[in-house]
Structure 1
C-alpha cells in the first residue's frame, strides 16, 4: 500500500473526454480517510452459552484493505483455476471456494499464525490465508514442481506450517483436528486447533466420535461447520433431520454465525478461541455461507438449484461487496484505491498462471520422495518401477 496515492494519481489522472480535454481526478491524502470505524454485526444464535460474540466490530482502515485484498485474491485465484480446468490444464478433483472467502479470512483474523488449522478438500482458500502464495497453489493444481506439495498433491492435498490440509476423505479431518488439539493441550502452548468440515460431512459418525472425545478431555478445539447449503448435489434440508449444525455437539457449546460477513466471522472466531484458551474445552461454530460454483468441477451446480438463487446471493450477500460497500460508505477507502488493488491482483494471478503452466512437472525419479517431510528419500519396495530394488535378506 506504500505510494498508493501516487499510483492512484498516475492511473486515474486525466480521463479523456469527447472533446479531447482531460479531467484531472484529485488525489486524496491518507489523512482524508477514516482510520477506524465500528460496525453493527448480526447477532449469533447460541447453544449452551449465556452470551455470544459481541454485536459490534471495530475495523481499522489497514485491516479493511488487507481483508479486501485477501478475499479478492482468493476470488480471482479460484476463477483462474476454473478457467485452467476448462482448458484441461488442471485435471482430476478440483473444489472451488469462491463465495466463501469471508469464512477463511474471518477465521484467520480471529486466531494467530501459531494456531493450527485443518480442513476438507475445498482447501485452496485456507492454503492461501495460511501463507502459501498464489503461484505455489496454482502450480500445485497443474502438477508442477513449484507447487506447494511439489506437484504431487493436487487440489485436495496442500500443506504448510500449522496447516494440515486439504483431506480427500469426507469428514476424516475432524478426528485429526481433535488429535492436533490434544497435542496443543499436552504441550501446554496455549494454542488452539480450528477443525473445519462441511454440512455434508456433519452427518459422518467420526465427527460425533470426535465431539465426544474433545468434550471428555476438554480439548482446545474449535469445530467449524461451513454450511454452504449443499452437500454435493443435495440440499441440507434433504440430507439432515436437523439443520441446526451448531447444536449438533449437544453437550458442546455452539454458535451460528453469518458466514458471509468477514467481521461477524472474525468476532465469533475470537470469541471461540478465547473460550478454548480459557480451559473450557471445545466449542462448535456453524458458518452460514454459500458456494458459487458446483460441488466440484464435474458439477455444473445448477441442476439442484436455480441460477436465480445463485445470482440473488451474489447481489445481496457477497462477502467482498459487503466489505467494499462498508469501507467506501464510511470513508475508509476510495473506489479508485480499490481499483488499483484489483489491477495489482489481476497481474499477480496472471503471473502465477504463467508460472503454473510453464514450470516443469516433477521427474519420475522423485516419485517416492517426500514421504516423510524431515528425512532423506527412502526406498519403498514395489512402488517405483524406476527404482533399483535391493535385497534386504
Structure 2
C-alpha cells in the first residue's frame, strides 16, 4: 500500500538534496511527484517514455538509480538524460520537443518487434500552447499511434501563469475534436492518477488509439534552480501546499506524523546510500 508513497518520498528527497545544494540548471518538479509515480507505475516493461526538462520524477519512478541521475546533473547533463535499458528514450530540454518525437517512437513500436508497447510522453501546459502539440496529436490520431499524452498542468509556464496564455482552464478541451479519449485528473492524488493511467494504457493497448491525460498539479519551486517560487502570490502557493501529494497520500494511508517522518528518513537514507 505504501509503494507509491515511498516512490514519491524518494523523488522528494532527491529534489530537496539538489535544492539544498543550490545545484544550477536543475528544473525541479517538487510537488508533482504524484503525476510521475501514478503514470509510470501503470506502464509495462515494453512501454517507452519521452520525458521533458522536469524529468527527475519520471526517471526515478521508472527505476533509475539516484546516483546515476545525480552524476548526470553534476556533469551538466540534467536535461539530456536517457535510460535506454529502462525504456526512457530521451529527455528534451526544449519545451515541447518531446511531443514531436513521441509519434515517431510510437510508430516504430507499432511496426517493430514490440507492437504491444505504448509511448508515454510527458509535457507541461506551456508545451501544449505550442503548435507541435497539435501536430503531434493530429498525427497520432490520424495514424492510430499508441501514444499516451500526459500533460502535467502545473499552472506555470516558466515565469508566466497559464491564465496569461490560455483562454480556458484545461488543455483537454483542445483535443477532443481530434477524437482522442481525454480525462482531466487531480494530479496531486497519486491513486487517482494511477487509476486513470491504468485505464488509459489498457484502452490504448486494446484499440491502438492515443489518449490524453491532463494532470492538474502545481510546481512548488521556481522555473529553474536555484530560483525561488517568487512569481506566485502567497494565497495560491498556500492553497497548493495544502494539497501536497505526499501529505494527501499519508492521510489516506492514515499515517501519523511519526510514521511519515520515519518513511521520509528511510527515503533520505536510501538516497544517501545510493549517492
CA deviation profile, 1:332-383 (whole Å, cap 9, x unmatched) = x66655443222222233345xx4xxxxxxxxxxxxxxxxxxxxxxxxxxxx
Structure number with higher helix proportion: 2
Structure 1 position 122 matched with structure 2 position 54: yes
Greater CA deviation, 192-201 or 270-279? 270-279
* Residue-pair matches, total: 270
Do the aligned partners of residues 343 and 220 (structure 1) sit closer, same or farther apart at CA in structure 2, a change above 3 Å counting? same
Q: Distance in 1 between matches of 2:211 and 2:104?
A: 15
Report the RMSD for the aligned CA atoms in angstroms: 1.7
Q: Distance in 1 between matches of 2:109 and 2:207?
A: 12
User: Per the alignment, in what secondary structure is the counterpart of residue 183 of structure 2?
Assistant: strand
Ranges in structure 2 where 5+ consecutive residues have no aligned partner: none
The structure 2 residue matched to 1:313, chosen from 240, 259, 267, is 240
Note the 1:1-393 alignment, pairs <5 A.
64-85=1-22, 90-91=23-24, 93-143=25-75, 154-160=77-83, 161=85, 162-187=87-112, 188-249=114-175, 250-251=177-178, 252-297=180-225, 299-302=227-230, 304-315=231-242, 317-328=243-254, 336-352=258-274, 355=275
Q: Distance in 1 between matches of 2:169 and 2:238?
A: 23
Q: Distance in 1 between matches of 2:45 and 2:238?
A: 35
Greater CA deviation, 219-228 or 160-169? 160-169
Measure how far apart 1:192 and its partner are.
0.8
Is the 8 Å Cα contact of residues 118 and 195 (structure 1) preserved in structure 2? Answer: yes
User: Per the alignment, in what secondary structure is the counterpart of residue 219 of structure 1?
Assistant: coil
The TM-score normalised by the length of structure 1 is: 0.65
Ranges in structure 1 where 5+ consecutive residues have no aligned partner: 1-63, 144-152, 356-393
Q: Distance in 2 between matches of 1:336 and 1:239?
A: 43
Measure how far apart 1:280 and its partner are.
4.4
Highest relative contact order (Cα 8 Å, sep 6+), 1 or 2? 2
Is the 8 Å Cα contact of residues 177 and 193 (structure 1) preserved in structure 2? Answer: yes
The TM-score normalised by the length of structure 2 is: 0.92
Q: Distance in 2 between matches of 1:285 and 1:338?
A: 29
Q: Distance in 2 between matches of 1:282 and 1:159?
A: 23
CA deviation profile, 1:229-273 (whole Å, cap 9, x unmatched) = 010111111111233201222222211111000011011111111
User: Per the alignment, in what secondary structure is the counterpart of residue 13 of structure 2?
Assistant: helix
Is the 8 Å Cα contact of residues 19 and 226 (structure 2) preserved in structure 1? Answer: no
User: Per the alignment, in what secondary structure is the counterpart of residue 278 of structure 1?
Assistant: helix
Q: Distance in 1 between matches of 2:225 and 2:260?
A: 30
Is the 8 Å Cα contact of residues 123 and 165 (structure 1) preserved in structure 2? Answer: no
Is the 8 Å Cα contact of residues 15 and 30 (structure 2) preserved in structure 1? Answer: yes
Greater CA deviation, 259-268 or 240-249? 240-249
Greater CA deviation, 219-228 or 343-352? 343-352
